[in-house]
Structure 1
């Protein structure tokens, strides 16, 4: 082969004998005239969906309470929204101390 081929000869060797078309000029699309007054569609008020409540861990704390030392006692059940048994116990004891003098822990169970 001839090492000094022209560009046209290289094109013919690669792509064959195709006629060269004139370059196509694409005109930009015409913009439509914009009206001075734009009417916005009426928007409906968006209703917020309530998020479903996630599972909250609960513990049931059972206390034996009373106002007399070794006297009549009552069983009190307190529900705590925590996984920590110590926090649940402290919360229940604090709530029971407001009304009763003597507080004894019976059990802490998950619900």
Structure 2
């Protein structure tokens, strides 16, 4: 959310409810891993958001592997980000940012 311009998001513990509300307000389903502004969301088998990242263009994406303060923010290829967050039972959804943050 911070990468998409949400004020104070980088310093706030994000919970699923706030994330889902924000996503519904600013994005539509679908997206392209090569373009900037695609939110990648990994969901549990029950549909709960487990991890998210955002594409920054040129085939790259930004993600933070965990919510721990010590976890670095990383820019990798979109393919590398997708592979690094792969986990049994999770499914990947894509959303395109279209609304105001």
Say which one has the larger Rg.
1
Q: Which structure shows the bigger proportion of residues in strand conformation?
A: 2
TM-score by length of 1: 0.27
Q: Which has the higher contact order (CA 8 A, sep 6+)?
A: 2
